[in-house]
Amino acid sequence: GKPASHVRVSLFPSFSPTEKQTDSEGRFVLTFDPNQLGPMGSVPPIVVARDLDRNLAVALDLEEGASNASVRLEPALTFAGRITDTNGKAISNAQAQVLFHTERMVSQLGSPARVNAEGRFEIKGLPPGRHYNVAASAKGFGQEQRDVEASITATNQVELEPFQLMPADQRIAGVVLDDNDK
C-alpha cells in the first residue's frame, strides 16, 4: 500500500512503447492517442507497471475514457530458458525478447535479456495471467519464438523449452525487375 518509486510503467497498445519511471511518490504520466490505431478501431489501453528489482508487476485494463489509474503491484511472473545452437552449445551473443499481447496488437515489453555463459536467460517483472511470446535471436543465427498462453502464465515462474537456433549461413541474391523487365 506504499508508493512505489522507480517502477517502469508503459501503456499498451502502442506502436512505440515508451517506459516511464514513477517518481518518489509512485506517480507517473503517460500519453495516449486513442486514435493511433486508425481503422483498427478503439482499444481500451492497458497500463503495465514493472518493478524488476523486487519482481513485482501488474497489467491494468483501463476503462474507456479513463484518465487516472491506481496501480497495485503483485508478485510477478519470470520466464527462464536456454538458447543454444542445433548441437546444444550455448550461443554467447543470444538474447530473448518478451512480446506482450493486447486485444489486437503484440508489442515488445522491456529490453531484451542477454544470456549468460551457459546460454541461460531470465526475464523478471512480467504481469501474470497474460498472453506473451518470447523471441530468441543471435547475430549469425535465425530466430525462434515461443507462444506462452495466458493460462500458463498464472504462476510465478515458467521454464521454457530450450530454444535451438539454426545458423544463418546461407545467402540468396537476385535482381528485382519492374513490370517492363527492367
Q: Give the position of cell 552449445.
A: 89
Query: In whole angstroms, what is the distance from residue 136 CA to residue 163 CA?
Result: 7
Asked whether the predicted pLDDT for residue 11 surpasses 90, the reply is no
Average pLDDT, rounded, for the chain: 90
Averaged pLDDT for residues 87-106: 93
* 107 conformational bin, left if phi > 0, alpha if psi -120 to 50, beta if neither: beta
Asked if the model's pLDDT at residue 173 lies above 60, the reply is: yes
What confidence score (pLDDT) does residue 50 get?
96
At 68-77, the pLDDT tens digits run: 888 999 999 9
Q: What pLDDT was estimated at residue 16?
A: 61
What pLDDT, on a 0 to 100 scale, did the predictor assign at position 102? 86
d(CA 99, CA 76): 16
Dihedral Cα 37, 38, 43, 48, nearest 10 deg: 20
Over residues 158-169, mean pLDDT: 96
| Residue 132 CA to its chain's centroid (Å) | 7
As beta bridge partners, residue 77 has 126
Residue 43: closest CA among 98, 99, 107, 97? 107
Q: Taking 60 as the threshold, does the pLDDT of residue 177 lie above it? A: yes
Query: What is the per-residue pLDDT across 137-146, written as a single tens digit (0 to 9) for each?
Result: 999 999 999 9
Amino acid 42: pLDDT: 65
Q: What is residue 17's predicted lDDT score, i.e. its pLDDT?
A: 61
Q: Give me the long-range contacts of 29-37 (CB less than 8 A, separation at least 24).
A: 37/13, 37/104, 37/105
Q: How many CA atoms lie within 13 A of 148 on its CB side?
A: 29
